[in-house]
Structure 1
Amino acid sequence: MAQDGRVSEADVVVVGAGPAGSTTAAHLARSGADVVLLEKSRFPREKVCGDGLTPRAVRELVALGVDTSPGAGWLRNRGLRILGGGMRLHLEWPESPSFPSYGLVRPRADLDETLARTAVEAGARLHEGTSVTGPLIGRSGRVVGVAARGEDGEPLEFRAPVVVAADGGSSRLSLALGLHKRDDRPMGVAVRTYYRSPRHDDDWLESWLELWDRSGGDGSQDALLPGYGWVFGMGDGTSNVGLGILNTSSAFGRTDYRQLLRTWLDATPEEWGFREENRTAPVRGAALPMGFNRTPHYTRGVVLVGDSGGMVNPFNGEGIAYAMESGRLAADAVVQALSRTSDAGREQALAAYPRAVRAAWGGYYTLGRVFVKAIGHPEVMRLATRHGLPHPVLMRFTLKLLANLHEPHGGDAMDRLIATLTRVAPAA
């Protein structure tokens, strides 16, 4: 028991109320589990993100019953506008039985609070302003809850037979259990800010494929970097503008990303408004943990979801869809575990979760690791932008591949090819 503190009991403790944690908590609560959801901040709170949601993320919102209509504050988009190699290409989100044909834009402050409130409406017990300080370890070596502190410094304990780590890429809970990031997985960094702009009502997500390092940070001049810039209209008079860079370039870690953002935006048309006098928020950065860069995804009573398990898509840097999907898959396994009558049966049920995420994305993420390693070479990136963009059919295939929007069973020739590639790739 926490000294001079309070102890709470539950079926499941979820640490972190971002998209992964809140989705996990919502699905669990709807299944009848008693869920405690812990969030160190208070809503609304900001997170570094592009604020753009692909149809894959929209599918998860719909599954939660979230109202994604424009009337509820969501801005819909038709697809992706790609600029690079002197080309401008519009690719609509594909029609599909599995995914809606539209994406969304919503500030993370709004999105995260919406998902947290959805979990509360389902029955989860949300504790804001509660910082988890470490796991509680039982005599068997299994985690039996977490220690925490309230905003007033009061020591707290939250005990449960299952703990879900949804505390982001740094995941202090995972680190306390010795689960460190894997060096053989890609990492990225993203920086973003907001500007007042007449482009705020754009119904396309815009991606710039040519980001040039003019500083010679990799030992040369004018290096083409592996990554992309984005412009996402927010519909409120501002645009979210940012860039993401992969660690497969020798310039990674030696590039001033904020200056790179400024250099890129200074070359955009003046009338777009992407100038310092129109900036409405600080330039913020965040790491992008990709391709299962922390494993195992279940150990000793702790389930890792979203960024805690390094589940960002290596192909495009998307994390929200995979955070929510992993939350749904984790909830399925945990609900089954809670129904078991023996410790062995519970462990068998929980062990199904890492197999489920590996089956869902293991082969696909392996392809992603090959992809990011290839585009880490400037000459490969240059060939891809100069010679790939002029071919619309190839680019439609690329959109399905990079956004993971292919039909896993059936579909057209593109779907079947992507499904075959992900099936034969080892799910490491």
Structure 2
Amino acid sequence: MPERLHDVVVVGGGPAGLAVALGCARAGMDVAVCEKRTGVIDKACGEGLMPGAVRALAALGIDPPGHPIEGITYRQGAMAAHAAFRAGPGRGVRRTALHDAMREEVLRHGVPVLPIAVTGISQHGDHVRAGGLRARYLIGADGLHSVVRGLAGLTKDGTGRLAGTLRWGLRRHYALAPVTNAVEVTWAARSEAYVTPVGPDTVGVAILSSMRGGFTEQLTAFPELASWISGAEPVSTVRGAGPLRQRASKRVAGRVLLVGDAAGYVDALTGEGLALALTTAAELVRCLRADRPSDYDRAWKRTSRRSRWLTETLLWTRGRPALARRIVPATVRAPRLFSTIVDQLAR
């Protein structure tokens, strides 16, 4: 019997990889997913889905449970600026709930999720081999520290550095009723805290920082937040991720393509990671359906340009203390500009 040739093998069973697998399966392709981790996958994540991400999931037939998000609030000391989403509500969704909903839909479409760790790849004229499987195309969707990116020779020097800083993220959940339907972002000297409602009685607290340290230590930069959660029951363990900045020289090397964090990542500062992963996954599927993988790198750049520019600009400002102190005051003084920026992020 001839050895089976899949149309697509996806390495990585997170949201980006599952979105590609589901999109390909819905297009009639033979797909398999390699994911060495078993069960529902969790990850340090702000867990706020922008309205664009909610729409992208709906297009895939996925409606994960969560809490409505109607906008974003920036805080610094006594100052606060709020901007509502104009394009409909976003949603706060536990990462585990999102993964469970996406995996269920992938399995419903008959896509196997195999407990395989890919440690090598080899490209041939009309196929790629990886993890004992053979496919026309191999998709690296294996996260910030992508093995596939390295094996394909697509890792770019300077990974993890921007303006001389490294940044990390931490996240934990607490049994607290949300006090607002917005993502609350509090700015400190070298870090930001994100409070996201993810259910009627649960909030997620994520901290992004250029300082190393445990979750409790990082909370000291946010005394009001620390006081609010001090008596609440933690309902998850602390999850960490980083360094957040990861660079890829390209997104395509022959029959190997990268998506999600594996394709290159700037920072979680603007909260667009999941939305960008889903929209670029749709572009990748479109290129595979047309059998034009070389088009994907250009499509990725076009689709992610606005997000990358906004994130790079805000992160550049963040890295300069004299300017960073003025970010929240500027949003307070110019609410229409803040609203416009948030509207761009939410699309």
- TM > 0.5 fold call: yes
Quote the sequence identity (%): 26
Q: 3-state DSSP class of the match of 2:290? A: helix
Tell me the equivalent position of 1:90: 82
C-alpha contact 1:14 1:21 (8 A) present in aligned 2: yes
Residue 381 of structure 1 pairs with residue 327 of structure 2 = no
Structure 2 residue 240 is the aligned partner of structure 1 residue 261: no
CA distance in 1, matches of 2:234, 2:13: 28
Q: Tell me if the contact between 1:27 and 1:331 (Cα under 8 Å) persists in the aligned partners.
A: yes
Q: 8 Å contact 2:266–2:311 — kept in the other structure?
A: no
1:116 aligns with 2:111: no
Conserved? CA contact 1:15–1:166, under 8 Å: yes
Cα distance in 1 for residues equivalent to 2:296 and 2:219: 42
2:269 and 2:91 map into 1 onto residues whose CA distance is: 19
Partner of 1:217: none
Q: Give structure 2 stretches of 5+ with no counterpart.
A: none
Question: Which residue identity does 2:145 align to in structure 1?
Answer: S
**Contact 2:154–2:253 (CA under 8 A) maintained in structure 1:** no
Alignment equivalent of 1:183, drawn from 158, 161, 164: 158
Q: Deviations over 1:118-166 (max 9, x none)?
A: 2222332222x3222221343x6x861212xxxxxxxxx1100100000
Residue equivalent to 2:234: 279
Mapped to 2, the partners of 1:30 and 1:359 lie a distance apart of 24
CA contact (8 A) 1:312 1:322 kept: no
Q: Deviations over 1:170-226 (max 9, x none)?
A: 111211222224427646321111122233x64222111x21xxxxxxxxxxxx22x
Paired amino acid for 2:294: A
User: Map of 1:19-98 to 2, 5 A cutoff?
Assistant: 19-67=15-63, 73-95=65-87
2:184 is the counterpart of 1:206: yes
Q: What TM-score, normalized to structure 2?
A: 0.89
SS in 1 for 2:118: strand
Who is 2:295 aligned against? Answer: 352
> What stretches of structure 1 of length at least 5 have no aligned partner?
1-6, 96-100, 148-156, 212-223, 246-251, 338-348, 406-428
| Higher RCO by CA contacts (8 Å cutoff, separation 6 or greater) | 2
Structure ID, larger Rg? 1
Contact 2:80 2:328 in 1 (8 A): no
Show the counterpart of 1:243.
207
Give how far 1:232 is off.
1.2
Number of the residue aligned with 1:164: 139
CA distance in 2, matches of 1:404, 1:233: 17
Task: Tell me which amino acid in the other structure corresponds to 1:229.
Answer: A
SS, match of residue 57 in structure 1 = helix
Structure 2 CA distance for aligned equivalents of residues 106 and 8 of structure 1: 37
- After TM superposition, give the deviation of residue 355 of structure 1 in Å: 0.8
Shift of 1:24: 0.5
For 1:363 and 1:80, how far apart are their aligned partners in 2? 18
Query: In the TM superposition, what is the alpha-carbon distance from 1:51 to its structure 2 partner?
Result: 1.5
Task: Tell me the distance in 1 between the aligned counterparts of 2:223 and 2:335.
Answer: 29
Structure 1 counterpart of 2:141, one-letter code: A
CA distance in 2, matches of 1:265, 1:158: 49
Q: Distance in 2 between matches of 1:85 and 1:168?
A: 35
> Which of 211, 214, 228 is matched with 2:192 structurally?
228
Cα deviations by residue, 1:349-393 (Å, 9 ceiling, x for unpaired): 111111111112236524532432222111101122234323321
- CA deviation map 1:275-325 (0-9, x unaligned): 2762232222102645x7213101021010000011456651431111111
CA deviation after TM superposition for structure 1 residue 62, in Å: 1.4
Could you tell me whether the CA contact under 8 Å between 1:314 and 1:372 is conserved in 2? Answer: no
Q: Kindly indicate whether residue 340 of structure 2 is the aligned counterpart of residue 397 of structure 1.
A: yes
Instruction: Provide the aligned C-alpha RMSD in A.
Output: 2.5
2:253 to 272, 280, 299: 299
Kindly provide the amino acid, as one letter, of the partner of residue 386 in structure 1. Answer: P
Q: 2 CA distance for matches of 1:202 and 1:314?
A: 21
Farther-moved stretch of structure 1 (18-27 vs 180-189) = 180-189
Instruction: Give, in whole Å, the separation in 2 of the partners of 1:122 and 1:328.
Output: 17
1:258 and 1:8 mapped to 2: Cα distance? 47
Q: Is the 8 A contact 1:242 1:261 kept in 2?
A: no
With 178-187 and 378-387 compared, the bigger mean Cα shift is at 178-187
* CA distance in 1 between partners of 2:288 and 2:167 (Å): 30
Deviations 1:214-265 (A, max 9, x none): xxxxxxxxxx22x4211112225322112113xxxxxx3x542534433145
